[in-house]
Structure 1
Amino acid sequence: MDLSISDPNFHVLVVGAGSVGLLIAQNLKKVCIPPKLTFQSDLITHSTSTQLGIKCTVFERESYLNQRPREWNFGIYWAQVPLTECLPQSIIDKLSTAQVDPDRAPREDDFFPIFNAQTGVLLKKLPAANMLRMNRPRFRALIAEGVDIQYGKRLRTIAHPNVTADGKNLVTALFEDGTEAIGNLLIGADGSRSKVREYLLGPRLAALQLLPLVGCLAIITTFPADLARKIRKDYHDILLNGSHPDGANIFMSLHEIPSPSQPETWKWMLTLTWKYCPTESLSTRTEIRSAWDTWANKLTEPFHSACTSAPKDAPMWFERVAHWPTVEWDDRWGTVSLAGDAAHPMTFHRGQGLNNAIHDAAHLCRALYTHVKEGKPLAEAMAVYETEVVERGRKAVEESAMNSLMIHEWEKMKESMLLRNGMKKIS
């Protein structure tokens, strides 16, 4: 097979070194035809790859990777096949090191338990075969290997000042430090508050929309050793979820194991969402902690002890849950587009955000293959990508929002997509 590139000067600019931006960069230099996929030792691997070698530069506003203090973790469920499509074998072989528990092998009988957070009764075990639960900072560090990343690049605006001699449109990214970069295609992978999306649609149409009456508190903390051991032994080894009849949802996940023999060092991520009243004042650390403790006192074990054991001075984040139902955008002759949370920021209660972002990364590179290897005009290739992303993205955003609203209504919760469909992709 001819592996040469039809246009050796083709250059992709990716704004944002989050998971989707880094996966796009990895894939552009690697896979262009879906590989043959196999399961080996419970870890997904692939046996073939085709080198594409498109030049790609990632621009990140942080001064270094994982500079921002807020951390979280996430699950990879139905997007494991496109994940391997994006990565070289050398990184696939190390995927386990980025898990919240690096020693945990994905299992065919993996499940996600949902409890009644008032009584402790197990409501349902949601199937989650071969689940990967990734520590975001470690996952980012792993998939950044070998990627050309320029740090300290906060996007100011985008321009189209140049056209090549053969009539191709070029796009220019202008950064706040006064520098610029010129390429054939710019991908906004810059998150839910995407500057690129704002450029394409304007501030009003690109703005996030608050989900009615849902607030979120989040914390990463440690537990007493006995509690940490008990949760992993009696409930689930890495995650569990509780729903309270008064309109709250509590999610707990193992985040990191600094020392396997010292459970008191294990880090856990907790998120609490509830039917938030806009008149509630949560502008100070004291008010935020008070809201947390109020709900903690309504929860049964192990949720109660997990919430109340968090140190009083531990950093805690409050935010209103928001989303952006995807709409079509003018991609400027195929030169500017979106991926991941920039294209379809959605609520998180069913774990669909990263899985859709991974799908974006694989699908984008397949589209670009048709441009650089088969000669399809860039605008046509990007139209294929964007048509699918807009349709799938809007559906996923709307489904996730409906699910998030339903799980905070006890009478509707059991009919929610979380309880009925688990983490599966809904076609």
Structure 2
Amino acid sequence: MRRVHLRIGGGYARFLTGLNVRSTAITTDSPIRSAEHLQHTPQKTTKLTQLKAFFVPLRHLYSRCVQRIAPSTTMASSAKPVIIIGAGVVGLTLAHGLKKANIPFEIYERDAHIDARPHGWAITLHWVLPFLRQLLDEPTLAAVDDVQVDPEVGRNDKGNFLFLNLETLETKFRIPPNERRRVNREKLRKALLQGVAESVRWGKRLSDVQPLADDDSVRAVFDDGTSADGRMLVGAEGSNSRTRKFLVPDGYRNHPLPVRMVGAAIDISPEEVKPLREIDPLLFQGCHPQTGNFLWVSMLETPETNKSAGTANEHYRIQVITSWLVKDASADEVPPTDVACVAEMKRRAAEFNPVLRNVVNSIPPSAAILTIAPQDWPCQPWDNRGGRVTLVGDAAHAMTMYRGEAGNHGILDAYHLYMAIREIYTGEKTMQVAVDEYEAEMTERSAAAVLLSRQACLDAHDFHGLNENSAVLKKRAIRMPS
């Protein structure tokens, strides 16, 4: 007879840590090969009998605890879904996180289909990338990399953000670099649709939100008369969110800023794009020191991505935006037609350096124009109805484009809300506690970000007032969790 130690490892060991169970000494005539082998080992002592009686029920208890940590397929299929209003970048990103956690969800989108209307030109993902990688599976991450406006530059990008003197073409400030991905927004949305498309209900515009008193759930009612019930509802439908209007009926309207913006996407030849890519291959911005007019230029497509390489029509597609402060309510308003808007862009570029003036002057009168009157909405308190209704992204905190952070904050919202919803579905926290904690972090973080972006919008048109502490120039970063 020999004395041996049964050492419990792996998941059992982690589970038993709180019980201070490290090893158990027993006596037996034969070796013990595994925990299961206890059931077939000759029981020569009382200690072995006691250990068996303790260990077998413990194994079943451990299995039940593991099931609580990750929602099972059975539980997920029987639970009420999370209703996501809006199939934009943030709503789809949240859906991917829920899918990875096996939490049921349904997405309701007002558009009739994915190409029903344009969804912006390009966005820069920077400090949010580590969080995005935790939400998406490997195929979707690869698809996101594939929609970079210039994948070749993206593979070796230094992450510079340049702010130029538009008169001299000199770099006035070089904003501290981050890892970044400059992606085509519409293609990004389509990439994120992969894997969750079957859960999107198209042509569903929200008309009402009804918390249900009898079973602690919530109902979304749509303009077409249909409705959907879920465990909770997340408004991810952008800066004109109807969910926000439901939550903050007296304060949902956006805050207008005294700035006007006009932009176009144009195709240019490799020869024409060369001096622009010598400034920066992805994007740059700047202000004219005398007029205060602002210019933004960024890449949208390269011959590699638009498949024109080597053809007679080889070309790049770029985004050109001009903006200005409204000093006179009449003279500085955006013109009423696209043709007049193109003429206004050229007029405001008349004092630019010839390299930049030439690119604005190359915009054809027939170009499709996007006009924007910048607005924002700092997050305000609301009653989330016991955690059943909340907001993410622009619906929760609309901000201007001048720091390029709106999409990053929206995706970070999706990450934190995904973590909160996991805790709800596993029973670790009540819905009220989990959503309150999500909203507390989101509100504190976004309140500062919205005001910083507001100030950046104004700073961008004040060349002589700029310094390294100006909001438009400060490093784009977020405090990472410890």
**Superposed pair shares fold, TM > 0.5:** yes
CA distance in 2, matches of 1:339, 1:255: 27
User: Which of residues 128, 138, 150 is equivalent to 1:101?
Assistant: 150
Q: Which residue of 2 aligns with 1:146?
A: 195
Counterpart residue identity of residue 4, structure 1: P
User: Which of residues 15, 19, 28 is equivalent to 2:85?
Assistant: 15
Q: Secondary structure at the match of 2:319?
A: strand
> Is the Cα contact below 8 Å between 1:111 and 1:128 reproduced in 2?
yes
Q: Which residue of 1 aligns with 2:251?
A: 205
Q: Which residue of 2 aligns with 1:239?
A: 283
Could you give the per-residue CA deviations for residues 273-332 of structure 1, whole angstroms, max 9, x where no partner exists? 111232234223343223211112121143211111011110112221110111111111
The structure whose RCO (Cα within 8 Å, separation 6+) is larger is 1
1:302-321 aligned within 5 A: 302-321=355-374
Q: Which residue of 2 aligns with 1:189?
A: 236
Counterpart residue identity of residue 297, structure 2: M
Structure 1 residue 70: deviation in Å?
Answer: 5.2
TM-score under structure 2 length normalisation: 0.79
1:43-122 aligned within 5 A: 52-69=101-118, 71-107=120-156, 109-122=158-171
Q: Which residue of 2 aligns with 1:269?
A: 319
CA distance in 2, matches of 1:393, 1:129: 20
Q: How many residues align?
A: 399
* Distance of aligned partners of 1:261 and 1:252 in 2 relative to their CA distance in 1, 3 Å threshold: farther
> Is the Cα contact below 8 Å between 1:113 and 1:124 reproduced in 2?
yes
CA distance in 1, matches of 2:254, 2:269: 38
User: Which of residues 60, 67, 71 is equivalent to 1:4?
Assistant: 71
CA distance in 2, matches of 1:21, 1:221: 29
Could you give the per-residue CA deviations for residues 96-129 of structure 1, whole angstroms, max 9, x where no partner exists? 2111113333446331222100111111222333
* Distance of aligned partners of 1:426 and 1:316 in 2 relative to their CA distance in 1, 3 Å threshold: farther
Q: Which residue of 2 aligns with 1:354?
A: 407
* Distance of aligned partners of 1:231 and 1:21 in 2 relative to their CA distance in 1, 3 Å threshold: same
Q: Which residue of 1 aligns with 2:465?
A: 412
CA distance in 1, matches of 2:201, 2:107: 6
Structure 1 residue 419: deviation in Å?
Answer: 5.7
CA distance in 2, matches of 1:333, 1:198: 18
CA distance in 2, matches of 1:249, 1:273: 5
User: Which of residues 202, 220, 228 is equivalent to 2:265?
Assistant: 220
Could you give the per-residue CA deviations for residues 48-91 of structure 1, whole angstroms, max 9, x where no partner exists? xxxx2111111111111132035310001110011111101121
> Is the Cα contact below 8 Å between 1:107 and 1:131 reproduced in 2?
no
2:330 corresponds to 1:279: yes
> Is the Cα contact below 8 Å between 1:224 and 1:309 reproduced in 2?
no
Compute the RMSD of aligned alpha carbons.
1.9
Q: Secondary structure at the match of 2:146?
A: helix
Counterpart residue identity of residue 401, structure 1: R
Could you give the per-residue CA deviations for residues 315-360 of structure 1, whole angstroms, max 9, x where no partner exists? 1122211101111111111111000000010011110101101100
> Is the Cα contact below 8 Å between 2:413 and 2:442 reproduced in 1?
yes
CA distance in 1, matches of 2:156, 2:472: 21
Q: Secondary structure at the match of 1:146?
A: coil
User: Which of residues 290, 296, 312 is equivalent to 1:251?
Assistant: 296
User: Which of residues 137, 158, 163 is equivalent to 2:214?
Assistant: 163
Counterpart residue identity of residue 299, structure 2: L
> Is the Cα contact below 8 Å between 1:239 and 1:254 reproduced in 2?
yes
- Structure 2 segments unaligned to the other structure (5+ residues): 1-65
Could you give the per-residue CA deviations for residues 375-400 of structure 1, whole angstroms, max 9, x where no partner exists? 31101110010111111111110111
CA distance in 2, matches of 1:320, 1:420: 22
Q: Which residue of 1 aligns with 2:351?
A: 298
Q: Secondary structure at the match of 1:333?
A: coil
CA distance in 2, matches of 1:347, 1:226: 33
User: Which of residues 127, 132, 137 is equivalent to 2:186?
Assistant: 137
> Is the Cα contact below 8 Å between 1:114 and 1:240 reproduced in 2?
yes
CA distance in 2, matches of 1:27, 1:381: 16
Structure 1 residue 171: deviation in Å?
Answer: 0.8
Say which is worse superposed, 275-284 or 111-120, in terms of deviation: 275-284
Structure 1 residue 403: deviation in Å?
Answer: 1.6
* Distance of aligned partners of 1:401 and 1:369 in 2 relative to their CA distance in 1, 3 Å threshold: same
Q: Compare CA radii of gyration and give the structure with the larger one.
A: 2
Structure 1 residue 264: deviation in Å?
Answer: 5.0
Q: Secondary structure at the match of 2:153?
A: coil
> Is the Cα contact below 8 Å between 2:235 and 2:392 reproduced in 1?
yes
Structure 1 or 2: more helix by fraction: 2
2:454 corresponds to 1:401: yes
Q: Secondary structure at the match of 2:373?
A: strand
Q: Secondary structure at the match of 2:384?
A: coil
Counterpart residue identity of residue 403, structure 1: A
Q: Which residue of 1 aligns with 2:416?
A: 363
Structure 1 residue 410: deviation in Å?
Answer: 2.0
